[in-house]
Amino acid sequence: MLAIVETNLQFKRTPTRRSRTNRIIIHHSASADVSAATIHQWHLNQGWLGIGYHYVIRSNGMIERGRPENSIGSHSGPSGNGDSIGIVLAGNFQTSIPTVAQMKSLVELIKDLRSRYGNLKVIGHKDVMATACPGARFPWLELRARLEEKDMLAKLKLDTQVNLPDVNVVMEGKAIDKSVILNVDGKDTTYIPAVVLRDIGMGVTWDGTAKTVIIER
């Protein structure tokens, strides 16, 4: 069973129950590691009912309860709040990447929610509002791969056998010969092992606009 830290936060009034749940919206706190209780106080200070997110994932992977899961959140504006569950990861992913423990907990939490609500769509705050949240360095490709139970870059067979000639690979700001890192086992269907790279301190992200795999520390 998924371990959730019950925070027993007190709201100004009982949050309104959500009538439908269609998606999960991911955020970053844009701060150092921070607790649900601290975010709760931030949001109270803004005149809100209390914390707007349903879950907070700390840098050590601990999952803390925020707003009641079955209630309407306050995390994504009118276009996002009404049918979503909001999950915030503590950290600033404009300048860093989530910890390995955070990504593990995020995947487990999403899988748990999907087991109860169906195959919920997973999007970012930026997909419903004009914001950078959850940050330019949030590893979407890795998340999608993990949710598909493949610790590889999501189904991108980046080699000569696939019709993706315009895909680029950039490591620490430099374009590299993709065959060096993509054909690591000499087969035609090699994937970049994103999780392995992360475990040795490398971040792996996918820039869909530029069709570029970005690898950096």
Asked if the structure places residue 199 within a domain, the reply is yes
What does the pLDDT average to over 43-60? 97
pTM: 0.72
Q: Which of 105, 120, 138 is the last residue of a domain?
A: 138
pLDDT at 146: 77
Asked if the structure places residue 133 within a domain, the reply is yes
Indicate the number of domains in the chain.
Answer: 2
Q: Please say if the pLDDT value at position 214 is more than 90.
A: no
Asked if the structure places residue 14 within a domain, the reply is no
| 152 and 124 both lie in a single domain | no
| 47 and 126 both lie in a single domain | yes
What does the pLDDT average to over 132-142? 91
pLDDT at 151: 39
**Highest mean pLDDT, choosing among 16-20, 150-154, 171-175:** 16-20
pLDDT at 167: 58
pLDDT at 133: 98
pLDDT at 209: 65
> Would you tell me how many other CB atoms lie within 10 Å of the CB of residue 126?
18
| 123 and 175 both lie in a single domain | no
pLDDT at 144: 82
Asked if the structure places residue 7 within a domain, the reply is no
Report the CATH number at residue 118.
Answer: 3.40.80.10
Q: Provide DSSP, 54-104.
A: SEEE-TTS-EEE-S-TTB--SSS-TTTGGGEEEEEESS-TTTS---HHHHH
**Highest mean pLDDT, choosing among 85-89, 143-147, 156-160:** 85-89
Compute the distance between CA of residue 164 and CA of residue 144 in angstroms, rounded to an integer. 19
| 33 and 134 both lie in a single domain | yes
Higher per-residue confidence, 142 vs 179: 142
Domain housing 120: 23-138
Identify whether the C-beta of residue 64 lies closer than 8 Å to the C-beta of residue 102. no
Q: What is the residue type of 78?
A: P
Asked if the structure places residue 38 within a domain, the reply is yes
- The mean pLDDT value of the chain amounts to 81
Query: Six-digit token pair at 186?
Result: 């000499």
Identify whether the C-beta of residue 157 lies closer than 8 Å to the C-beta of residue 117. no
| 123 and 196 both lie in a single domain | no
| 128 and 147 both lie in a single domain | no
Q: Which of 108, 138, 168 is the last residue of a domain?
A: 138
Q: Please say if the pLDDT value at position 68 is more than 50.
A: yes
| 163 and 196 both lie in a single domain | yes
The SS3 of residue 126 is helix
| 214 and 172 both lie in a single domain | yes
| 164 and 94 both lie in a single domain | no
Q: Which of 89, 111, 138 is the last residue of a domain?
A: 138
